[in-house]
Amino acid sequence: MFEKTHAMIQRGQEVVMNTYGRLPMAIVKGKGSIVWDIEGKQYLDFVTGLAVSSLGHSHPAVVEAIQKQAEEIVHTSNLYWIPNQIALAEKLVEHSFADKIFFCNSGAEANEAAIKLARKYAKEHYSEDKYEILTLVNSFHGRTLATLTATGQTKYQEGYAPLPEGFTYVPINDLAQLEEKMSPKVAAVMLEPIQGEGGVFPLEVEFLAKARKLCDDYGALLIFDEVQVGLGRTGKLFAYEWSNVAPDIMTLAKALGGGVPIGAMLTKEEVASTFKPGDHASTFGGNPLATAVGCAVMDVITEEGFLEDVLKRAQYFKLKLQKLADKYQTGTEIRGQGFILGWPLDRSGAEIVEGAREKGLLINFVGGKALRFLPPLNVSYQEIDGAITILDQVFAECW
Ligand SMILES: *Cc1c(COP(=O)(O)O)cnc(C)c1O
């Protein structure tokens, strides 16, 4: 390993808690789809900080928004109105099913807010024992106690008992089980339209429609966790637009702040009005800096033609990936939509991830199931070709 990296890791291991299985590198600079580590080695970034830097690194609109706002004011708290927060809420309302927005700082916080809101709404409109939250097996909703309980994977829950009560799980795309688990006690059904951390598993439109219908029948709210797949990642502004199914609550985070932490919960007026002053809050939530950047990000993604272009390049990438999957006979179909794509492998992808990294391409392997590709939404055809060339070489060497 290189000297600077080695020294840095030794310092890090002394003082930073050991909660991540980190790769032995540090990224210190980025421009567009390219990043550089502390040794000066260059990489194509098809991870984008976990679907966060969707406009690529150091996008001029993001840089300008941060610089300008930093010179005005960074933080004021929600004791006062925040004009940038209002402006970002207006943009989200204009482009979605929602009427009202609550701002926080992360995906887990947005989901935590959604769970709290759904329970309070159910109690107010129905009964005290309507509190169950139905989620999917293999889902991912965050790491707070409530959201890791919502997460239908026991590996995230071990050691943290007792977990909050009232969470039930249904296998993905299983219509019969969904119907069976649905009851008057269910306050909300919470889903990722495409499971991201679980291994890139898209939900079938039929399943989403069934969830919508059952929620309507039982007076439950439908929550879409679009923390990863929202904001253009699938080639539509929101993943739910691929179906004819709109949720009652939607959560966003990752890409919204262009790398500045922000989360948002979006909902209809009828549901939003359940929360009264004091019912939920966040010190940092929707602060002037985060929401200034959020506005800049929204403006770029909603520019005319932006998403059409994303779809074209994403289609091109998916076809090329499928060709490689066929060439190396991994026997698999590339999953996903737009620029969240998964290449399922029947054994660990660690070697592929490492091989790609050595050759200058960053990707990751999720859920122990699939290589995941999350390039910047504005990645070029040339950069896609570059990534494909590297993958071809890596598979030729180690598959
Ligand atoms: C990343 C992610 C979260 C958690 O977001 P944090 O900002 O890490 O709290 C929740 N849901 C989904 C679908 C995610 O991909």
Is the same domain home to 167 and 313?
A: no
107 C-beta closer than 6 A to ligand 1 = yes
First to last CA, the chain: 24
The pair of structure tokens assigned to 133 is 């939250």
pLDDT at 329: 85
Per-residue pLDDT for 67 more than 90? yes
Tens of pLDDT along 83-124?
A: 999 999 999 999 999 999 999 999 999 999 999 999 999 999
Q: Is residue 15 part of a domain?
A: yes
Q: Out of 285, 301, 317, pick the residue that ends a domain.
A: 301
* Bridge partners, 186 (sequence order): 132
Is the same domain home to 292 and 340?
A: no
How many percent of the chain have pLDDT more than 90? 96
Q: The CATH number of the domain where 87 resides is what? A: 3.40.640.10
Is the same domain home to 162 and 233?
A: yes
Q: Is 254 a catalytic residue?
A: yes
CA distance 148 to 10: 31
Cα of 141 vs centre of ligand 1, distance in Å, is 6
Q: Is 210 a catalytic residue?
A: no
pLDDT at 302: 98
* 227 known ligand binder: yes
Please name the helix (run of DSSP H) or strand (run of DSSP E) that holds residue 44, with its range, or none. Answer: strand 42-45
Is the same domain home to 167 and 268?
A: yes
Q: How confident is the model at residue 1 (pLDDT cuts 50, 70, 90)?
A: low
pTM summary value = 0.98
pLDDT at 187: 98
Q: Whose CA is nearest to atom 6 of ligand 1?
A: 107
Average of per-residue pLDDT across 202-223: 98
Tens of pLDDT along 230-275?
A: 999 999 999 999 999 999 999 999 999 999 999 999 999 999 999 9
Residues sharing a CB contact under 8 Å with residue 31, sequence separation 6 or more, in sequence order? 56, 57, 58
Is the same domain home to 118 and 144?
A: yes
Q: Whose CA is nearest to atom 10 of ligand 1?
A: 141
Is the same domain home to 276 and 130?
A: yes
Q: Out of 301, 329, 351, pick the residue that ends a domain.
A: 301
215 C-beta closer than 6 A to ligand 1 = no
Tens of pLDDT along 127-154?
A: 999 999 999 999 999 999 999 999 999 9
Q: Is residue 188 part of a domain?
A: yes
DSSP 8-state assignment for residue 164 = P
Is the same domain home to 366 and 297?
A: no
Q: Is residue 192 part of a domain?
A: yes
Average of per-residue pLDDT across 192-220: 98
What is the overall mean pLDDT for the chain? 97
Is the same domain home to 32 and 125?
A: no
**323-343: b (≥16 Cβ within 10 Å) or e:** ebbeebebebebbbbbbbbbb
The domain total for the chain is: 2
Q: Out of 263, 282, 301, pick the residue that ends a domain.
A: 301
Q: Is residue 65 part of a domain?
A: no
Q: Is 225 a catalytic residue?
A: yes
Per-residue pLDDT for 399 more than 90? no
151 C-beta closer than 6 A to ligand 1 = no
Is the same domain home to 44 and 94?
A: no
Tens of pLDDT along 271-327?
A: 999 999 999 999 999 999 999 999 999 999 999 999 999 999 999 999 999 999 999
Is the same domain home to 49 and 102?
A: no
In the chain, which residue ranges form alpha helices assigned H by DSSP? 3-15, 48-51, 60-72, 83-94, 107-125, 145-150, 175-181, 205-218, 269-272, 288-301, 306-327, 350-358, 381-398
Cα of 142 vs centre of ligand 1, distance in Å, is 5
Per-residue pLDDT for 369 more than 90? no
pLDDT at 70: 98
* 385 known ligand binder: no
142 C-beta closer than 6 A to ligand 1 = yes
pLDDT at 146: 98
DSSP 8-state assignment for residue 220 = P
Average of per-residue pLDDT across 358-372: 95
Interaxial angle between packed helices 288-301 and 83-94, expressed in degrees from 0 to 180 and rounded to the nearest 10: 30
Q: Is residue 11 part of a domain?
A: yes
| Residue whose C-alpha is closest to residue 135's, from 47, 251, 52 | 251
Q: How confident is the model at residue 166 (pLDDT cuts 50, 70, 90)?
A: very high
| Residue whose C-alpha is closest to residue 170's, from 207, 196, 209, 221 | 207
Is the same domain home to 236 and 324?
A: no
Domain residue limits at 329: 3-59+305-398
Is the same domain home to 292 and 313?
A: no
Q: Is residue 67 part of a domain?
A: no
Q: The CATH number of the domain where 15 resides is what? A: 3.90.1150.10
Q: Is residue 157 part of a domain?
A: yes
pLDDT at 55: 98
Q: Is residue 68 part of a domain?
A: no
